């Protein structure tokens, strides 16, 4: 599956435990990343500061569903199921 440009769910729904610019303690689940533009695009894409967890994420129908609302719901569910 190709990532849906302008979705941004992967920059909102999951937590990010690694530090990133402007978010030294990472990002809690459900909080919009500071680097998600108004166009719902990652402003760190392709930059060395982008966390590995973000670079390693691969869009998949099981995680992303059919649209942004599905993706936020599904990624949020996975976040809850895998929380420590």
40-51: per-residue pLDDT in tens?
Answer: 999 999 999 999
Cβ contacts of 47 within 8 Å, gap of 6 or more: none
Q: Indicate the pTM of the whole model.
A: 0.89
pLDDT of residue 84 exceeding 90: no
Q: What is the mean pLDDT of residues 1-8?
A: 93
DSSP state of 32: P
Domain boundaries, the chain: 9-82
Residue with the two structure tokens 């599904």: 74
Name residues whose C-beta falls within 8 Å of residue 16's C-beta, 6 or more positions apart in sequence.
Answer: 23, 26, 27, 33, 51, 53, 54
Q: Give me the pLDDT at residue 83, please.
A: 81
């Amino acid at each position: 599956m190709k990532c849906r440009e302008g979705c941004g769910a992967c920059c909102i729904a999951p937590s990010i435990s690694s530090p990133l610019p402007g978010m030294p303690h990472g990002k809690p689940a459900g909080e919009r990343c500071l680097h998600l533009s108004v166009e719902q695009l990652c402003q760190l894409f392709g930059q060395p500061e982008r966390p590995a967890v973000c670079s390693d994420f691969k869009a998949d129908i099981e995680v992303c569903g059919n649209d942004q609302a599905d993706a936020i719901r599904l990624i949020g569910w996975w976040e809850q199921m895998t929380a420590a």
